[in-house]
Structure 1
Amino acid sequence: MSCTLLLLLLLLRGPAAAASRPPPAATPRLKLAFPELRARHGLRLFALERSCCYEALLLDEERGRLFAGAQNHLLSLALDDISQRDRKIYWPAPVEWREECNWAGKDITAECMNFVKILHPYNRTHLYTCGTGAFHPVCAFVEAGQHAEEPVFKLDPRRAEDGKGKSPYDPRHAAASVLVGEELYSGVATDLMGRDFTIFRSLGRRPSIRTEQHDSRWLNEPKFVAVFWVPESEDPDDDKIYFFFRDDSVERQQGLGKTSFARIGQICRNDVGGQRSLVNKWTTFLKARLVCAVPGPDGADTHFDELRDVFLLQTRDKRNPLVYAVFSTSSSVFQGSAVCIYTMADIRRAFLGPFAHKEGPNYQWVSYQGRVPYPRPGMCPSKTFGTFGSTKDFPDEVIQFARHHPLMYNPVLPHGQRPLFLQAAVPYTFTRIAVDRVTAADGHYDVLFIGTDIGTVLKVVSVPKESWHRMEPLLLEELQVFQDASPITSLQISSKRQQLYASSATALAQLPLHRCGAYGKACAECCLARDPYCAWDGTACTRYVPNTKRRFRRQDVRNGDPNVLCSEDPQQGSVPQKQLYGVEGSTTFLECVPKSLQAHVLWTYQRTPGDPQREVQVDERVVRTERGVLLRSVQRADAGLYLCHATEHGFTQPLLRLSLEVIGARQAAGMAAAGDPQLAAGPPGRKVWYRDFLQLVERPPLGAADRVCQRLWSRGRPLPPPRAYAGPPGRGQGEELRKARRRRTHEGPRAERGPRSASPW
């Protein structure tokens, strides 16, 4: 392959040509880079100087504020534009705490700070927040006002309180909590060394209560992810708190080493501990395995056990929300991430199933077949399931059984028995998820926004395949939200303002939930996008708003068939046209890039408009690239009409019509020297196309290739550009040649003139 052709191919393919990454499991339909999001699609950023780690986010629609916790700071940002009207609270750790932290061997510039980990609404006027406090956890109340117009945002340092059991000591440790009423339920490490993990209830009027200490059957080095309060009946005494975490499995087989399992744990909100046993300890704590796996042959499933994040999607029935969970793998052989959905019915069924029990000569975990005491362990004391008014009234055998049997035998399986969305062999891992339920013309759809560890957000819509019981994920967009590719640590959605908020270690970002205009300017392109936020209004792809009547509105997320929706589109059939000129014997590139990365491009050719179209065949002279077709050594027979088609979702549409005219080398040189406007025509700001070809015309091909390579890679001074060729040298031209050679001879040392060209010019 010649040097010129090699350079052209590298330029056409770009940086992706050098990458050796495996192809992704799913390709986004639209991929937008950070500069384009900033310039055209409303991406806004906020960052503090000398701060980091924006982990805790609290979205408040009523106040119109986004509250955030960072290193040594609390933030209050406007939901409409986070880059405007910000309010800040400086909340560092006291000097003496930082010095103690440094004496304990911690880095005073990186670890001995106050990293805000907890941020909850406490009442109509105040927030409750906790931070690491330089390995001295501390909590406080923040006055935030009651209305959006109140410019109140201040912390009362006199009301600061001990944060042990609420916030972690170490900024690298995660904490999960929920504030229900005036009580805080936390999953956190309660010691400096990070070894005593507990599920802890604090605040409120009742005594603090926790899990059994140093019992691996309860918690075995857990990593807490999320906590939610879910009502179970009309009686508030039946309410439960659900904890999502991952921990080391106690039921694994011996000799297999540590195995991490995803878990869901439950406790009753009205649990006050036992009377004689489990005093100030949970008596209703149970946990079950959360399974997210791909069924394989012979029952060998591929499991995703690294639970990363959980989102609770509220439905019309508050007792039965949908649970969306993000997983990754810990395997060194298989790398991937997945999203699984769980129903509360399946979760409750697992906790009503058999208990796990260890027995037999090998102490294997089996289903407990003995008598289960009454009331059944895990049941809340209420009028619904019995006459017990408090957990202190439970019989001793119930308390002892609950103490030794916290693990359920049956796992919680995902809806559909498999992941909803899966990505394998990709250069990123899922980290966070937020879900928005969107009303479209043909039903309700769940749109998933998935954060990754490289600063991108995936937008996925779940559509029914054959029925609403079997869903199919569509990857609509991949958005580079953070330029520095830092992992996304939190995601929040404002359905009222149609905005997505993301955080990382370096900044906060705000982005609209939809970019309808980016899908294209035709009805078919808008329809094929299958975005429930967008619809064709007769002239453009715009935001779909329910309960508004427009005659030309077109939307079909489930099928996305342009043949049905766009049959009356007046723009259908209009194809952009472009005229190209190619020099015989040189290379010509036919460029056509569809907006959708999921579209398959098909090229057809016809000599004249009346001839039948035939597909362009790839061979040694015709090269297909990601951006079009490269014709090597153009021939007269290549002239004609080229039509670029895009095929997607069973629909084919023409994108571009190219008319190629092939001219001879001498004719091209003459036209160029004469300043022919046809040859000189070209887009403003771009190099006129024929200048590159003239370099091939005015000197032998090998010399031209060497000349291009030397200009790119030579360490010396580049040679001056060649003059245009205007035919065979006559008397005047010969004299000019002799003068040029004399000038080059006296230019100076050879090292300064640059490499010698093989051309006689």
Structure 2
Amino acid sequence: MARTGAARGRRLLLDALLLCALLPQPDTAWKQHAPRLRVTYKDLLKSNSSRLLLTSGDGLGFQALLLDEDRAWLMVGAKNHIFLLHLDHPGREPEKIFWPASREQVEHCRLAGKDVETECANFIRLLQPYNSSHVFACGTGSYQPVCAFIQLGARGKGAGAPLMRLVTHSLQSGRGRCPYSPRQPFTALLVDGEMYSGTSSDFMGSSAAFFRTWVRGAEQSYIRTEQNQDHWLHEPAFVGAFAIPDTYNPHDDKVYIFFRETALEAGQWDRRHIHARVARVCKNDVGGKRSLINRWSTFLKARLVCSIPGPQGTQTHFDQLEDVFLLRTRDPQNPLIFGLFTVSSGVFSGSAVCVYSMAAIRAAFSGPFAHKEGFDYRWVEYKGRVPYPRPGMCPSETYDPLLRSTKDFPDEVISFVRSHQLMWEPVQPQGRQPVLVRVNVPYRLRRLLVHRLETESRHYDVLFLGTDEGKVLKVGLASTVSHSTEVINLEEISVSKTPSPILDMKLSPKRQELLVSSTHGLLQLALYRCELYGKTCTDCCLARDPYCTWDGKTCAPHLLTEKRRARCQDVLKPDVLSQCQDTAEGTAVATEKLVFGVEKNSTFLECLARSPQTTIRWLAWHGEGSGLSEDWRPLRRAGAGAADPPAGQGGCRHL
């Protein structure tokens, strides 16, 4: 009898055994906007994964960042100052250059109606490496742009980071290189001693152009887009510029420019419609001989399309190009272009990221031209004869050994280029749709940075997105077997105490850090916060963060350079029941919590999910033996036959 009673008691106890399991939601739920972690600014400071480097009191922040990973320093442009921070020595005081505008320039700016504190100063907006010992810097100069060289000199034997000083005799005009205003968008790229820049060219900011100047040459040695020609550029806002080789011949190298402008081809009734553009020029372009003197003779542009399909074939276009990122690949001629776009209207607002291949961009520039035709001058495809050599082609022996300079182009080619800058075919993104869309959210995306992680089986692209309210979103993009892209929302990090727009971001893969500047400060941020995901293998794997892995004891950073056995590295397959299997005990680590109760009594069941991307299931044991999976059954409320408790909630349940 005693043995029978003991067996019955053991049976009752097993009947009351409950298991709380965390399971990933269906795939559609992964595409929701909810991140795996939301980190407040206070929590960020507690996590020891960030460090405040500089603060800004003027509310304009730090708009120019230059990172040298090899020498572990960061140069920062601010109001009247340039700072040099030593990343390997956080306790060392930053080196500083004081570079204000003259009193006369400040007074002239004030008399022109500008604000003395927020506009009439020298705001450093351009920092470009010139060589190993010099950096080329430009500032607004109180609405009189000015540029100069910063010299980096060795401190002494074994002293570490270099000193820096302003080379005063190198002061030169910054017109055509740097904007007059501290707030105007612009882009600049220094290549082989030549500065390519898209910026305003006058005090009022009403005229903008794309320039090339020689930073050590005479001021008159420049080339630019044609003036007062709206079909060249119409109210442009420049976003980025990159030098990308087209062939193995350096004479074919081109500079690609990304911007947005008011589109003329949108029609006379929609003159204010904005289009995103990609343009290109040949690096060896020196202008025409009898026409287009000191003007680009290879300048062409095409539309960048980033849209989502709608009902009945309609498209919702994201045309406001905000930022662009060039992801270098193993093939230097074929990097990937990531574009960040926004749209704003009375009905709809949101942001999107589209990815473009260089093959698609080159195809647009090799396609038909657009021009105006007919009694109403509508923009149509040009079907007439295209002169030889093809307009936009670089003078190179690759195509014609007799053409050694753009001044050798026939007059017919120069005349055609002067009136046909726009290509007819737009550039479509990969998959013909965005890889990321954010709509109906309380923020807008403003800055974009991409980090590619290579693994044995595939690669992952991690997007860092800066918002207009001081947050950085970390989003993973994983390519599936069907060549589609799965979006994994990882983190939403508040990087400033008060909401403020993100101005710039720089990635340091070597240090596994992100440098983020906002209108209120500069922050050094680790790429991962693995310990915040939880203390179990399940939490770590369900996070699907490619920077983190379960090492057997903790959720730890997964450094690709390390050779160690890790459990959950494939973010596409978060199968925690197999990845987190404890081979020693034969039970799954996914068993988060075991609860023992008494039959016909009440027990409070609580199991809060750390991630909004998971669901909660309570399972009750209904068998005895070795623990076969079919003996675990979903828990139902007594007398009601109801389903499992709602995700993330506990409650009193009758056993």
TM-score range relative to shorter protein = 0.7 to 0.9
Are 2:414 and 1:399 aligned?
yes
Cα distance, 1:624–1:356 mapped onto 2, change above 3 Å: same
Q: In 2, distance between residues paired with 1:317 and 1:338?
A: 26
Post-superposition shift, 1:591? 4.6
Partner of 1:698: none
Partner of 2:234: 220
Cα distance, 1:521–1:50 mapped onto 2, change above 3 Å: closer
Which one-letter code corresponds to 1:160 in the other structure?
Answer: L
Partner of 2:116: 108
* 8 Å Cα contact 1:491-1:503 kept in structure 2: yes
Alpha-carbon deviations, 1:110-146, whole Å to 9, x = none? 2101111111001111101111111110111111236
Q: In 2, distance between residues paired with 1:548 and 1:82?
A: 26
Higher relative strand content? 2
Partner of 2:555: 541
Partner of 1:711: none
Alpha-carbon deviations, 1:410-451, whole Å to 9, x = none? 001101100001111000111111111112353221111111
Are 2:39 and 1:32 aligned?
yes
* 8 Å Cα contact 2:287-2:295 kept in structure 1: yes
Cα distance, 1:262–1:357 mapped onto 2, change above 3 Å: same
Partner of 1:61: 69
Higher relative helix content? 1
Q: Secondary structure at the match of 1:159?
A: strand
Are 2:432 and 1:417 aligned?
yes
Cα distance, 1:134–1:349 mapped onto 2, change above 3 Å: same
State the number of aligned residues. Answer: 606
**What is the 5 A alignment of 1:352-363?**
352-363=366-377
- Pairing partner for 2:128 from 116, 120, 125: 120
Are 2:330 and 1:312 aligned?
no
* 8 Å Cα contact 1:606-1:614 kept in structure 2: no
Partner of 2:258: 244
Partner of 2:613: 598
* 8 Å Cα contact 1:293-1:303 kept in structure 2: yes
Partner of 2:209: 198
Post-superposition shift, 1:558? 2.7
Post-superposition shift, 1:522? 2.1
Q: In 1, distance between residues paired with 2:517 and 2:591?
A: 44
Partner of 1:373: 387
Q: Secondary structure at the match of 1:209?
A: strand
Are 2:66 and 1:45 aligned?
no
Q: In 2, distance between residues paired with 1:552 and 1:510?
A: 28
Are 2:579 and 1:560 aligned?
no
Q: In 2, distance between residues paired with 1:312 and 1:339?
A: 13
Query: Any unmatched runs of 5+ in structure 1?
Result: 1-22, 632-637, 641-761
Which one-letter code corresponds to 1:614 in the other structure?
Answer: L
Q: In 2, distance between residues paired with 1:146 and 1:278?
A: 46
Q: Secondary structure at the match of 1:153?
A: strand
**What is the 5 A alignment of 1:207-356?**
207-356=221-370
Post-superposition shift, 1:251? 0.1
Partner of 1:615: 636
Q: In 1, distance between residues paired with 2:154 and 2:258?
A: 32
Alpha-carbon deviations, 1:236-285, whole Å to 9, x = none? 11110111100000101221341000001100000000001000000000
Post-superposition shift, 1:514? 1.5
Partner of 1:434: 449
* 8 Å Cα contact 2:324-2:340 kept in structure 1: yes
Alpha-carbon deviations, 1:139-163, whole Å to 9, x = none? 1111123698143121123321111
Q: Secondary structure at the match of 2:224?
A: coil
Post-superposition shift, 1:539? 1.8
Q: Secondary structure at the match of 2:42?
A: helix
Q: In 1, distance between residues paired with 2:381 and 2:56?
A: 56
Report which structure shows greater RCO (CA 8 Å, sep ≥6): 2
- Pairing partner for 1:521 from 495, 517, 535: 535
* 8 Å Cα contact 1:618-1:624 kept in structure 2: no
Q: In 1, distance between residues paired with 2:84 and 2:639?
A: 58
Q: In 1, distance between residues paired with 2:520 and 2:646?
A: 37
Q: In 1, distance between residues paired with 2:496 and 2:304?
A: 31
Cα distance, 1:333–1:114 mapped onto 2, change above 3 Å: same
Q: In 2, distance between residues paired with 1:596 and 1:242?
A: 41
- Pairing partner for 2:195 from 168, 179, 184: 184
Structure with greater Cα Rg: 1
Q: In 2, distance between residues paired with 1:216 and 1:146?
A: 49
Cα distance, 1:377–1:82 mapped onto 2, change above 3 Å: farther
Q: Secondary structure at the match of 1:142?
A: strand
Alpha-carbon deviations, 1:318-360, whole Å to 9, x = none? 1111111101003221111011100111101100000001101
Cα distance, 1:326–1:569 mapped onto 2, change above 3 Å: farther
Q: Secondary structure at the match of 2:127?
A: strand
* 8 Å Cα contact 1:189-1:195 kept in structure 2: yes
Overall identity of the aligned pairs, in %: 46
Alignment RMSD (CA, Å): 2.8
Are 2:649 and 1:628 aligned?
yes
Q: In 1, distance between residues paired with 2:146 and 2:473?
A: 36
Post-superposition shift, 1:288? 0.4
Q: In 2, distance between residues paired with 1:297 and 1:47?
A: 49
